[in-house]
């Protein structure tokens, strides 16, 4: 499958998911077998995306600020979002502390 075809399939699938109840099923409650997993999609998926990107260094777990400053920078960014509540603070604090740590260490 060409990359374009893959993107197209994802786009069509996403549209069908968005259309599901509005256009096809109608105004009916989501059955519990579907609602129960959907409650945990966002936290599970996002954490699974973040953890390897900030906690692994060359494929192994590394939380040391000296050899893997991305982990400490992500912790600081997380605290900033928690207190200040906007995506822009995550980027400013996270990138800023990464650059600072790389410069210091």
Partner 1 sequence: MGDGPITARSVASNAAADGAKDVAPILIGVIPFGLITGVAAGASVLGDGLGWAMSFIIFAGAAQLATIELFDAGAVTAVIIATALVINSRHMMYSAALAPSFGAFSARWRFGLPYLLTDQAFAVSLLRFQDVTDATYRRWYYLGGAISLWITWQVTTAAGVVFGAVIPDAWNLGFAIPLVFLALLIPAVTSRPGLVAATVGAGIAIAAAGAPYTTGLIIGAVAGIAAGMIAERWWS
Q: Which is nearer to partner 1, 9 or 66 (CB)?
A: 9
Secondary structure class of 86 (helix, strand, coil) = coil
Q: Where are the beta strands (DSSP E) in 1-105?
A: 56-57, 60-61
Q: Which of 51, 66, 100, 105 binds partner 1 (CB under 8 A)?
A: 51
The C-alpha atoms of residue 77 and residue 83 are separated, in whole angstroms, by 10
Number of chain positions touching partner 1 (CB under 8 A): 69
Q: Which is nearer to partner 1, 55 or 65 (CB)?
A: 55
For residue 54, give the nearest of 28, 72, 36, 33 by alpha carbon. Answer: 72
Footprint of partner 1 (CB under 8 A):
1, 3-4, 6-11, 13-15, 17-23, 25-30, 34-56, 59, 61, 70, 73-74, 77-78, 81-82, 85-91, 94-95, 98-99, 102
């Amino acid at each position: 499958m060409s990359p374009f075809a893959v993107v197209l399939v994802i786009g069509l699938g996403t549209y069908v998911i968005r259309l599901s109840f509005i256009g096809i099923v109608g105004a009916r409650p989501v059955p519990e077998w579907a609602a129960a997993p959907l409650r945990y999609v966002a936290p599970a998926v996002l954490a699974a995306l973040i953890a390897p990107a900030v906690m692994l260094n060359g494929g192994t777990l590394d939380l040391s600020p000296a050899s893997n400053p991305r982990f400490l920078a992500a912790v600081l960014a997380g605290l900033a979002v928690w207190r200040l509540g906007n995506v822009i603070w995550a980027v400013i604090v996270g990138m800023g502390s990464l650059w600072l740590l790389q410069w210091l260490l």
